Structure 1
């Protein structure tokens, strides 16, 4: 059972009930399906930009602690006005190469977006190869290909999605959350709140 402490939610399981957060405005989205770009190139944008009306933006990043063989995943969920609706920090006692860590982070961030009831999202990260593979159609039955396939399957659960590359300068909040996640036991989720150490970066 999750333990609720003020505005912070700790989970001992991956799944989060979809009714933990009201999906304000998402069902009212009247636009057509957001097209996915099959091949993404580095953007020249150097600041975070809000998504379209009634769309939520999910920024994720990953961190690795090679000494203690664990990975940290950080994700921040914001609406079209830039308001933070959720933050996630997840730590797993596994050792993966950088590509697999980023793909794993994309997967967990997409699952979190489903769990809190979002319907229209932009998923953004600074791992260009991972972004291109998620947007691509290449099939692979290796560990890498299976993780990417899992991300693609989760993305089909949204009414509209797009997956974009952004430079690290636009992904600082997710990067800070990922590094701090290395100190978290299992998973820690903030709903409609942010950890104090990233407040000044908003």
Structure 2
């Protein structure tokens, strides 16, 4: 598939907009937990499901636009990890590589692992035990027009976590323009513009 920018003003990205789930328009201030990126930017959230006894881990990641519309979501088993931080970094890399295969415009990466954000933000060489994964993430970020890194508490990253859990329970998934049916209510609640 050819790469495209998913901003509405982009001619090359217009063909991908109909794939996104239609949702009520939600701005960052209206979202209850997840906060929307600026218009023209895609935000990717990722998380890992990690079993410390075995090192087995699964990635969950989803990319959304400023309206909260899902561009893509994935859940995937990864190679074993030595720590939760390594699993979180691998999940971020998995999501970014998948997004980079179809989109190269501005991206915001939001994670709930402060240590990975700190390593990615550092200008000097990484001393992290997952140095190789950090370097791979940095190289992948160079494929985008621009990037921003941000931390989100676990409450703001529930959907990514549930995608990793879904992959652990039922196997790998890759969905363009939506989420697994059992997660649809959670997705809608995260960006609901109506009070409960």
- The equivalent position to 1:171 in structure 2, one of 146, 149, 157, is 157
Q: Equivalent of 1:194, from 179, 182, 186?
A: 179
Q: Could you say which residue in structure 2 is the equivalent of 1:37?
A: none
Question: Greater share of strand residues, 1 or 2?
Answer: 1
Partner of 1:38: none
Q: Is the 8 A contact 2:96 2:140 kept in 1?
A: yes
How many residues are paired up?
Answer: 167
> 1-side partners of 2:128 and 2:113: how far apart?
19
Residue 183 of structure 1 deviates from its aligned partner by 2.9
Cα displacement (A) at 1:119? 1.4
**1:137-176 alignment, distance < 5 Å:** 137-140=123-126, 143-176=129-162
Provide the residue aligned with 1:11 in structure 2: none
Pick from 44, 65, 90 the counterpart of residue 79 of structure 1. Answer: 65
- Using the size of structure 2 for normalisation, the TM-score is 0.77
Compare the two structures and name the one with the higher helix fraction.
Answer: 2
1:5-20 aligned within 5 A: 17-18=1-2
Instruction: Tell me the alpha carbon deviations over residues 139-175 of structure 1, each in whole angstroms, 9 at most, x when there is no partner.
Output: 1477512211111111011001101101011001001
| 1:24 paired residue number | 6
2: CA distance between counterparts of 1:71 and 1:49?
26
**How far apart are 1:26 and its partner, in Å?**
6.6
Two-structure CA RMSD over aligned residues (Å)? 2.2
Runs of 4+ in 1 over 6 A off after TM superposition: none
Query: Partner of 1:59: helix, strand, or coil?
Result: strand
Q: 1:26 to 1:68 in 2, by over 3 A?
A: farther
The 5-angstrom pairing of residues 28-67 of structure 1 reads 28=10, 47-66=33-52
